[in-house]
Amino acid sequence: MLRMEIALFLVLAFIACIYFSAGRKNTPLHKTFSLLLLTALVHLALDSVTVYTVHHLEAVPGVLNDAVHRLFLGSMVLVIYLFYQYIAILVEEETGKPRRLDRPAGIFLAVAELGNFLLPISYTVTPDGNYSSGPYMLVPYGAVAFYLLLCAGLLAVNRRQIDKKKKSVIGIALTIEFVVCILQGLKHTWLISGMGITLMTLSFYLTLENPDILRAELTEQKMSMLYLKSQVNPHFLYNTLDTIRIQAQLNGDKTVADLLMRLVDFFRLSVKVDRQMVALDDELELLEAYMDLMCSRYPDLRCVYDIDPDLGGMQVPNFILQPIVENSLLHGLKNKGYRGEVRISAQAASGQRMEILVCDTGSGFAEGKKAAIDQMLLNFSKQPAKLEGSSIGILNVQKRIKLLCDREYGLSYTENPAGGVTAHLLLPMKEDVQ
Amino acid sequence: MKKLRVLLVDDEIMIREGFKRLFDWEAHDCAVVSEAADGMEALAQIDTLRPDIVIMDINIPIMNGLKVIQLSRIKHPGTAFVIVSGYDDFSYCREALRLQITDYILKPVNYEEFGACIDNLKISLFERRVAAAAPEKQEERTISGITKFLQAHLAEEISLSVLAEQFHLNPQYISQLFKSEIGVNFLAYLTNIRMEKAKKLLLSTSLSITEIAQQCGYGDYRVFTKVFKKTEGSTPSQYRRDFLEDTGAAAR
């Protein structure tokens, strides 16, 4: 029997390792679960010890045996109490109703612990194995019955407000513990209480506390926030900006009016394109609006275009140039105080392909940065989905080109002999609308 | 040429003020005679004032701009309607074109470029006058001879001096003629009919941009693309694709 206890201890220890190594917020729910994990570990360790001592009654001094048994069942009551706490907090978070049963639960815990250490204990020896018995056994059964009833009650009263997944998890955990206790009650020699505790903890961990699930939920939340942010009615935005522009021009401020005009252009163009593929001309129009604004913010910044007009109608993935140019500005020219030039050129290449170059006179790659970026662009599909960071823009561009055109096309970087970097966008030359 | 009378319709006072004060109406032989802030007001103003040009926003209270045009069209066939809209949406554009509006421009309005829109409007008013007048009377007029000649020789290099030689007239006089008969200068007129031809070719043929540029008298297609972009708001290939996509969507 000892082997099972050791195995359960190792399983839970492994889970605790994963759980504590994943950084998470300090919510009451997570705090309770951490405490639960630690107490369950102590409980399982004591479980192993008692399984040994109860089978070596002659070798182990009676006092020591009593002590570990009392500690063992004391920790079990505590674990069950923490289970109740965990479920109560979960229900509170779901329903928004404050917990009202904390006081009776706490009082019961104190009474149970007191009983555990005061009630007399005895040992029953059978051919199948030994087990502890006596009046003190009232404590664990009483505690399990009391707290399971509380949990079941909480679940029943708030069943409508609780998320389906959480409801089923709590239900399953309670059923497991209930069945295990019944079996233990019928077959005293089985000594399987530790299994019940482990399985309950495991079911909570796998469904509610799993770091991967938590991370996915966090990402989803963030995504929907971003989505909501982008839902500000664009017409409202650029109609208002237009009104401001006219007011500025009426006040005689032509410079401000012109800047606002370009800003409105930029917004209008960026909300207009809902297609996956757009004409190169459309892309360049958006880029021009962006660069005009940047150049007026930084007067020493210049932008030169050298576009073969025959390529204007070619279909390219939407929104690929602006992120590249923005990257050149933020990581190249910014370090030079925005003094320099961005040259955007597009020319036909061999085999029905074309190449768009974004060449800047910025600071170039930092030591080792080029290799890191090359590696990232090469293994674009293995990169985790990121929501921010400096490389999100170019990674996104790479992913979309590979997806919408073909694997042979894509983005790469080279270093200019005279300083700065050049982004190479290799794209197919196709003009059809579809 | 008498001054063209303009009615401004927009529910935002700032937009109307902008139009009124930031565009040089005087230089384009126009005068803003009144303003309206909603559809009903616009309808009433059109009936009483009979303006030559109505600058019309689509999204206005009580009755939308397209409805106003639809109702006024029958009573005032001579009025030119220019739609100015923030609704960057081709479905509006299509409906507007069905109502035979003169032009469709998008907010934000660039007041410098708005002049080209007024020039186009004058040219179309001129063409309507020409079409309405008796043909035998037209033959005698110098200006109609010149415009016919221009239409026929669009692919060639044309200047005032070429016209002067062809018609045995003083270049200055021809320039004056354009201003007085059509209300726009020679170059604006020439650019307009070149662009009209280009649009026709873009939509009805599959000629390359370079070939179309040549047929419309632009040796350098870069210059053509630039001019086209300035007057139409989109590049030639965008223009062609937007149309194809739209008819494709309508057919589906």
Q: What is the DSSP string of chain B?
A: -PPEEEEEE-S-HHHHHHHHHHS-TGGGTEEEEEEESSHHHHHHHHHHH--SEEEEESS-SSS-HHHHHHHHHHH-TT-EEEEEES---HHHHHHHHHTT-SEEEESSP-HHHHHHHHHHHHHHHHHHHHHHS-HHHHHT-HHHHHHHHHHHTTTS---HHHHHHHHT--HHHHHHHHHHHTSS-HHHHHHHHHHHHHHHHHHH----HHHHHHHTT-SSHHHHHHHHHHHHSS-HHHHHHHHHHHHHHHH-
Q: What is the pLDDT of residues A115-136, one digit of tens each?
A: 888 888 888 888 888 888 888 8
Say yes or no for a CB contact (<8 Å) between A313 and B87: no
User: B205 at the A interface (CB within 8 A)?
Assistant: no
Residues of chain A with pLDDT under 50: 434
Note the pLDDT of residue A343: 94
B238 touches chain A (CB under 8 A): yes
Cα A323–Cα A325–Cα A328 angle in degrees, nearest 5: 110
Start-end ranges of CATH 1.10.10.60 in chain B?
A: 133-252
**A433 touching B, CB under 8 A?**
yes
A243 interface with B at CB cutoff 8 Å:
yes
pLDDT at position A226: 64
Q: Where in chain B is the domain with CATH 3.40.50.2300?
A: 4-123
On whether any CB of chain A is under 8 Å from the CB of B222, the answer is yes
Q: Class of A273-428 per CATH? A: alpha beta
CATH number for the domain formed by residue range(s) A2-225: 1.20.1070.10
Mean pLDDT in residue range B122-143: 72
**Contacts with B165 (C-beta within 8 Å, 6 or more apart), sequence order:** none
Q: What is the mean pLDDT of residues B66-94?
A: 80
The one-letter amino acid code at B188 reads A
Q: Which residues of A touch B106 (CB under 8 A)?
A: 268
Q: Where in chain A is the domain with CATH 1.20.1070.10?
A: 2-225
Domain with CATH 3.30.565.10 in chain A: 273-428
Res B148 pLDDT > 70:
yes
Output B23 or A378, whichever has higher pLDDT.
B23
B133-252 maps to CATH 3.30.300.30 = no
Residue with tokens 């070798």: A59
Cα–Cα distances in angstroms (integers) from residue B27 to residues A246, A373, B21, B30, B110, in the given order? 20, 57, 13, 8, 16
What are the beta bridge partners of residue B82? B55, B103
CATH 1.10.10.10 for domain B4-123: no
pLDDT at B101 over 80: no
Which of B57, B84, B225, B238 best tests the A interface by mutation, with the highest count of A CBs <10 A? B238
Q: pLDDT above 70 covers what percent of chain A?
A: 89
Question: Coil, helix or strand for A427?
Answer: strand
